[in-house]
Amino acid sequence: MVLSKQDYPNMINAWKQRAKRDGIELVWVDLDLPSEAEDVLVEAFVSKFTKKTRVVHITHMINWCGQILPARAIADKAHERGIDVLVDGAHSFALVDYKIPDLGADYWGTSLHKWLCAPFGNGMMWIRKEKISDVWALLSNDKPDGDNIRKFESLGTRSFPQEMATGYSLDLHNLIGSKRKQERLHFLKNYWMEQVKDLPGIKIFTPLSPQWGCAIGTFGLEQKKTSEISNILHQDWKIHTTGIEWEKVNGVRVTPNVYTTTADLDKLVKAIKSMVA
């Protein structure tokens, strides 16, 4: 089982549980980010593949810094070796303009409360048709080995309002359009990052290229701790960010949405410049 140190903690913990319970071996990829070199990113995973590898876990868009990984290129290399591919699309779905089969995944999942802006507690799972019968649901229907993906929806009583609200979220997303949404959010990310990237002591953890980053941007300052940066932004400027300290990423994550204005980001730029003055 191949996965990366930059994956989402809950995903990492799920695989660690499988390792403890079932004895599978976890082989770790340690990415050097940010990166706009597809061959380097792909090789980081492929170099860990062996004849014993059965599954590779790929985070399509890394939550710590917004780095987009070349999921399809990695998946193709995995399939050449008979390795199944699981893609975590939590941060790329309803943000990056793609269709699920484009990634070459065998298994794919997402959280709908992120970029789709649906209610909390909602998610979506996609499994390649021919793989469904081999996967048993945690709470199954009467056909655990059936090939209908709806067997995974046998959850008992659940929140109908959540499902209704998700429909409205889809309507809004489709009204904007995936392509326009991605272009808008990439523009907003680069709008502020390009104004601060050359400041003394700043560290940018997110690629500027639209192929490798969108919306999320993470930065750090040599002279300040992560907590200090986020506290100053919140207390002095009323700007909410998220402090990130995880596997070589030490900074604060800035996450605009489509309703964020350039005036909002001008305030952020002014705040950052004040901290390095």
Q: What is the pLDDT of residue 97?
A: 97
The string of pLDDT tens digits covering residues 80-131 is 999 999 999 999 999 999 999 999 999 999 999 999 999 998 899 999 999 9
pLDDT at position 135 over 80: yes
Higher pLDDT, 219 or 154: 219
Rounded to 5 degrees, what angle do the CA atoms 19, 20, 26 make? 25
pLDDT mean across residues, the chain? 96
Candidates 61, 60, 165; CA nearest to 122 is 165
pLDDT at position 255 over 80: yes
Q: Which amino acid is at 134?
A: D
Confidence of residue 163 (pLDDT cuts 50, 70, 90): confident
The string of pLDDT tens digits covering residues 5-52 is 999 999 999 999 999 999 999 999 999 999 999 999 999 999 999 999
Q: What is the pLDDT of residue 157?
A: 80
* Tokens representing residue 205 in the block: 């953890």
Confidence of residue 209 (pLDDT cuts 50, 70, 90): very high
Q: What is the pLDDT of residue 22?
A: 95
The string of pLDDT tens digits covering residues 227-241 is 999 999 999 999 999
- Cα dihedral 150/156/157/159 (nearest 10): -40
pLDDT at position 57 over 80: yes
Q: Domain 2-166 classified CATH 3.60.15.10? A: no
Burial pattern 126-138, b for ≥16 Cβ within 10 A else e, equals bbeeeebeeeebe
Confidence of residue 162 (pLDDT cuts 50, 70, 90): confident
3-state secondary structure of 40: helix
Please state, in angstroms and rounded to a whole number, the distance separating the CA atoms of residues 253 and 227.
12
Q: What is the pLDDT of residue 160?
A: 84
Which pTM was predicted? 0.94
Confidence of residue 139 (pLDDT cuts 50, 70, 90): confident
H-type helices in 47-159, by residue range? 71-80
Q: What is the pLDDT of residue 210?
A: 96
pLDDT at position 68 over 90: yes
Long-range contacts of 48-51 (CB under 8 A, 24+ apart): 48/2, 49/2, 49/77, 49/78, 49/81, 49/83
CB atoms within 10 A of CB 169: 18
CATH code linked to domain 178-276 = 3.90.1150.10
Confidence of residue 277 (pLDDT cuts 50, 70, 90): confident
- CA dihedral sign, ordered 119, 242, 34, 1: negative
Which residue intervals of the chain bear CATH 3.90.1150.10? 178-276
Q: How far is CA 64 from CA 24, 41, 145, 232, in A?
A: 26, 17, 37, 20
